[in-house]
Structure 1
Amino acid sequence: MVAEELRRRIEAGAIPAGALLPPESALVQEFGISRGTAREAIATLRAEGLVVTEHGRGTYARPQHPVRRLSADRYRPNAVHASDLPETSLRADVRLDEVSATPTLARLFGVAAGTPLLQRRVLFWAHGVPEQLAISNYLLSVVAGTPLTDPTPEPWLSSITTQLSSIGINVTKIRELVRARMPTAEEASALRLLSGVPVLALTRRTYSREQIIEVANEIVLPADRAEIEYEILPT
């Protein structure tokens, strides 16, 4: 009963995002319950991701960030990486490295382990909030000497289709695998995730005819700030 009422108040805005919940003593008095029952109610809301408890501050309604929708349209030519956000609101922290294909990347590319790759590690921001961490890998033999190896024009906010088209590569197919998992400590720090928030992890393979040109392993998004929309046309 207590958790249900507090949930209703949070969802209705009576307890706005960032506002403190009543202390245990107030809940005990208002609902005629024990402190143990009050703690259980708060624990339930915390498990649902509605509240956050910080030592020295108390328990408050969790801030709600705008949800970003990703659709297949983001891979259309000339689309920016987040199709529902204006490009002026975006920025990216980028690091380029030449690496050797690990056994996992070699399997995804269909090449031998140790094959030279160009790796682009990008943390995307929107409206001052980190919203996506992506690690993309390209066959170095394909992109060597092209603008993709030059950090000067970074960040490339256009789609992978447009990026590769700009260097003369025609993308014919993109395959994605999506799964949910808990973040690593590095991901939680980079994306400023609250405790208990899972992520959506996408593995992407980009093809030009039968050759795999790029493998993103992985694209990591906060699960509480992103939703993925697919359109499936039955044949």
Structure 2
Amino acid sequence: MSFEYTPPKYAQLIAELERRIDSGEYPAGSLLPSEHTLMAEFGMARPTVVKALGVLRDQGWIVTQQGKGRFVRGRPAMPTSQQARAGRELLDRTETQVASKLLTAGPVEAPNRIAAYLGIEPKSPVTLRKILVERDGEPTEISATWVPAEIGEGTALAESTDLRQGIRRYVESAAGVSLDHIIEHITARNPTADERELLDVKSSAALLTVYAVACDATGKPWAVVETVLPGDRHELEDAYPIR
């Protein structure tokens, strides 16, 4: 079954506006460009622009003043105790930080879903690195990293030794880019035969699969980290401000 996916345009706009605020191009207290100005500059429809601005408002980057417009607040302050978002943690985690067993490292053909996330044709060559993670002697997750073949070839991602840096560092070094944002997708399903054996679960077990698609500031995807979690051994938690 084919699976088509295009990274949302609003995520690209969010990333660019955050960059401009961080750089001081849009200083705190300044009036943000109007919806029409942003639509014209980025070639986006109004609903896309409005959605991006709504996210920035909810996250505390901007504030709306009735009858005056939207004003820059600056980078929102978050509690230092806040845990990293799931996708960010997966991208930065090293294999030396967890008890893991390497299952696969090398070239494979991209499945439909992974190909769609990476913006390539199905069955295109990619590098896959898959590990089984254990905690207290019990298998707790299967983590697979998928990158285009030209990014993975000749790097530690295709080798059998433990990674001493997070996936993010290898990808940025090989691609010559800075990863800017992550788009997460979470699905629930039953396990495959291999997953039943590796995770020691029944065929009726519920698995959570987190796909973290790592993109640069333009929205181009460079890596997908796929993590398969037994539903009875994990609870996903997130924290974010409300305004």
The two structures, once aligned, show a CA RMSD in angstroms of 3.1
List alignment gaps of at least 5 residues for structure 1. 1-69
Given candidates 210, 233, 239, the residue that maps to 1:231 is 239
Alignment CA distance shift 1:169-1:145 (3 Å): farther
Alignment of 1:37-186 (within 5 A): 71-72=84-85, 75=88, 79-80=92-93, 87=97, 90-151=99-160, 154-156=161-163, 158-165=165-172, 167=174, 168-186=176-194
Q: Secondary structure at the match of 2:157?
A: helix
- Matched pairs, number: 159
List alignment gaps of at least 5 residues for structure 2. 1-82
CA deviations over 1:18-61 (Å, ceiling 9, x no partner) = xxxxxxxxxxxxxxxxxxxxxxxxxxxxxxxxxxxxxxxxxxxx
State how far apart, in whole Å, the 2-side matches of 1:110 and 1:74 are: 19
> Quick one: percent identity of the two aligned structures?
22
TM-score for both structures, normalised by structure 1? 0.56
Which one has the bigger helix percentage?
2
CA deviations over 1:144-188 (Å, ceiling 9, x no partner) = 22222232xx33265433443454542211111112222223212
State how far apart, in whole Å, the 1-side matches of 2:228 and 2:119 are: 23
Which one has the bigger strand percentage?
1
Alignment CA distance shift 1:224-1:77 (3 Å): closer
Alignment CA distance shift 1:79-1:110 (3 Å): closer
What is the letter of the counterpart of residue 80 of structure 1? R
What is the letter of the counterpart of residue 75 of structure 1? R
State how far apart, in whole Å, the 1-side matches of 2:134 and 2:213 are: 23
Alignment CA distance shift 1:110-1:74 (3 Å): closer
What is the letter of the counterpart of residue 142 of structure 1? I
Which one has the largest radius of gyration?
A: 1
How big is the shift at 1:195?
6.2
CA deviations over 1:81-110 (Å, ceiling 9, x no partner) = 69xxx93x6222231131223333322211
Alignment CA distance shift 1:90-1:158 (3 Å): farther
State how far apart, in whole Å, the 1-side matches of 2:117 and 2:165 are: 24
Alignment CA distance shift 1:76-1:193 (3 Å): closer
Contact 1:74–1:159, Cα closer than 8 Å, also in 2: no
State how far apart, in whole Å, the 1-side matches of 2:136 and 2:216 are: 34
